[in-house]
Amino acid sequence: MTETLDPVTFEVLKNAFITSVDQMGEQILRTCYSFVIYNRDFSSALHDVHGHSAAQGNQDIAVHVGTLHFTCQDVMRAFAGDMHPGDVYAINDPYAGGTHFCDVRLIRPIFADGKIIAFSQSNGHWSDVGGSVPGSFDVTARDMFREGLRITPVRLFSKGRFCADVACLIAANTRDPASIIGDIQAQAEATQVCEREILRLVAKYGRETVETGLAAVQDYVERAVRQRLAALPDGEWETVDFVDRDPSGPEGMIPIRIKMTIRGDTVTYDFTGSHPTIGSIYNSAFGATFSAVAAGMKTFFPDLPLNSGFYRAFSIVAPEGSIVDAKWPVAVTGFLMPFEKIMNAIYEMWSRIMPERAIACAFNLEYLLTGGRDGRRAEKPIYMFYDWLPGGWGGRNGRDGSNVTTACFGTGLMSQPVEGQERANPILTTEYEILTDSAGPGRWRGGAGVRKTSVMLEAEGSVISYICDRERAVVWGIEGGLPSMPHGLSLTRAGQEPEWLGSVFSDVPIGPGDTFSRPTAGGGGFGDPLERDPAKVVEDVADDYVSVERAAKDYGVVIRVIDAELCHYEVDVSATEALRAEIRGQRRGWLAADPERVAEDYRAGRLDTLDVVRRYGVLLDWDKGTLLPRSTAQFREQFAKRSAASWRDA
């Protein structure tokens, strides 16, 4: 607290600021036009007079929150000396601290007694901002000019007057201009809701008290974080995670290296050694990297509010021109792929410092985008099917991972209801279920993922794009835990055999009767799966999380099926003891097996995908069964460190 703010007033204002941001979210949910935004792909913020974040909402998604202060400050610079009550500005520029072009932010200055005292900001993911493919995610783009409309700071409301010409210019460069205009109005109104709440507080407590409160809540969080850091031992921790590939480069995964250093009450994240930007949209500008660090670290301080006070306790070293500090005009729409690698790498390092909160790798968020003309309606309007799926989080120290949960990228996201999707798009969902054997095995298994299958109905000129990762950098376990499974999409054209398209493709034609199916991985396992209580394995089999076959292969638990329909199973105790001893004696040898022989066995059908990944640590082109030698070497190296190093041989 400060000398001029008593503890009670401080606490009231702290919670009132957060509530004002939550009310922005409630306003958006009730007025937005976009189904994507309705399913909570949005966030909001309250900033102080300097643009620093003073409050976030309780369900704002992680990917946005660490970037909103950057875009607020960019707008402040652009309109310095030219801001007025009733103004609202728009920006979506990832090179100015944003994320990607689809995340469009509206910012309103809040005036009291004739001066700016704060800013409110509403950020929503627009389902399309132009570019070369529906949904604006073209994985083959190497620069921003195929990604969509870049909005540098622009005035959308001038002293309360809607600048319809500017808004229509922006909307006209998208595939759904009517929804864009509606979302602009919804977001602008949300910023006004926050303004009303702040001015209500000003009327009750006075302008100076509110301004003091905006600063005090940040100072409070900074003190709390620094005190906790100071109580930890100084040290350095390093790790690496990978993006699957550079589509324009040679075979091999793309490393993101992080060294975390704690000295006293500060922590530094150094990305030196990370790969240069790649020939795809899977690059991250600095703002998104900053947000990934903030979100990853904040996971280990769950009880504290999030604002710019938290950001003061850490610093980042990001080599310019690297995959974590991409510069204009490098493509960055797929920034979420390095984003989640950064988060999971930070989870791993903090798990070593706070083992009571340790967690293995979570699944990677994926985006499916299909667009064309809706043949169910005579006017054949453009439709935009934009979908994401939940998956599994990593096993934890003493607990299994969370099943079917939205990604760490943004736990505030909702899983989209298929009924709403089917009404808005000529696509029918035929399967949506928890995926057996998707969870990474461990003493504490990862959470389970899902599989969703859909069929195209009456549509014309439709194309499909899939934005995903961890087809090769498979979700990993720690402390002896095993990996999950590769991501990827299969397309079955009407009357033909399934075709594996994998996790990186855009602009593939798709027609009526074509079916597409994709799984999401489970979380990585925590601890040696051979140490899991066999009774828990039986429970997992009864719940369809684990098959009888993989119970034996992954956990060494031999299960007798008494009555599958009644979920009646029993452990064969003596056979389990023998099998576990056998696996302990062989598994290090499996990881040293000739990868080419493993690939040959896969192509011959003697091994399946989970055998190849979990037993042999080998990565293949999952369609053709061709060995990926460099990726395999990288994967095996990390498998040895994260998993095999913790195994007991007897």
Q: Is 563 within a domain?
A: no
What is the reported pTM?
Answer: 0.95
- 57/196 same-domain check: yes
- What helix, strand, coil percent values describe the chain, rounded to 5? 35, 25, 40
CB atoms within 10 A of CB 499: 13
Regarding whether 216 and 78 lie in a shared domain, the answer is yes
Q: For residues 444 and 370, state if they share a domain.
A: yes
Tokens 């399946």 locate to 608
Domain boundary at 202, 224, 246, which? 224
**Cα atoms found within 13 Å of the Cα of residue 422, Cβ hemisphere only:** 10
- Which SS3 state, helix, strand or coil, does residue 126 take? coil
Say what the pLDDT of residue 2 is: 43
In a domain, 555, yes or no: no
Any domain includes 570: no
Last-in-domain residue among 527, 555, 576: 527
Q: How far is the C-alpha of 361 from the C-alpha of 339, rounded, in Å?
A: 13
Question: How far from each other are the two terminal CA atoms of the chain, in whole angstroms?
Answer: 56
- Do 491 and 634 lie in one domain? The reply is no
The reply to whether 627 and 520 lie within a common domain is no
Q: Is residue 507 in some structural domain?
A: yes
Structure tokens that stand for 636 in this block? 């095996």
Same domain, residue pair 604 and 472: no
User: Is residue 71 situated within a structural domain?
Assistant: yes
Q: Give the pLDDT confidence score for residue 649 in this predicted structure.
A: 87
Distances (CA, A) of 593 to 232, 270, 589, 632, 633: 41, 35, 6, 12, 12
Dump the DSSP string for 129-156.
--SSSTTS--TT--BGGGT-----SEEE
Q: What is the pLDDT of residue 588?
A: 97
- Are residues 35 and 128 located together in one domain of the fold? yes
Listed residues 479, 509, 527: the one ending a domain: 527
Neighbours of 7 (CB within 10 A): 8
Q: Give me the pLDDT at residue 59, please.
A: 85
Count of structural domains, the chain: 3
Residues 6+ apart with CB under 8 A from 40: 25, 29, 59, 61, 410, 412, 413, 414
Q: Is the residue at 556 inside a domain?
A: no
Does 609 lie in the same domain as 514?
no
Q: Do residues 434 and 545 lie in contact, with contact meaning Cβ atoms separated by under 8 Å?
A: yes
Same domain for 380 and 519: yes
Q: Is residue 308 part of a domain?
A: no
Q: What is the pLDDT of residue 60?
A: 85
pLDDT of residue 495: 84
| Contact call for residues 309 and 213 (beta carbons, < 8 A) | no
pLDDT along the chain (650 residues), means of 10: 78 96 95 91 96 92 89 98 98 95 97 97 94 90 94 98 97 94 97 98 97 97 98 97 94 98 98 97 97 96 94 97 97 95 98 97 95 93 93 97 92 87 96 98 98 97 95 98 97 92 94 96 98 98 97 98 93 98 97 98 98 98 96 98 93
> CA nearest 145: which of 99, 106, 101?
101
Strand partners, 404: none
Task: Please report the pLDDT score of residue 414 as a whole number.
Answer: 84
Domain that holds residue 644: 593-649
In a domain, 251, yes or no: no
Q: Are residues 601 and 474 in the same domain?
A: no
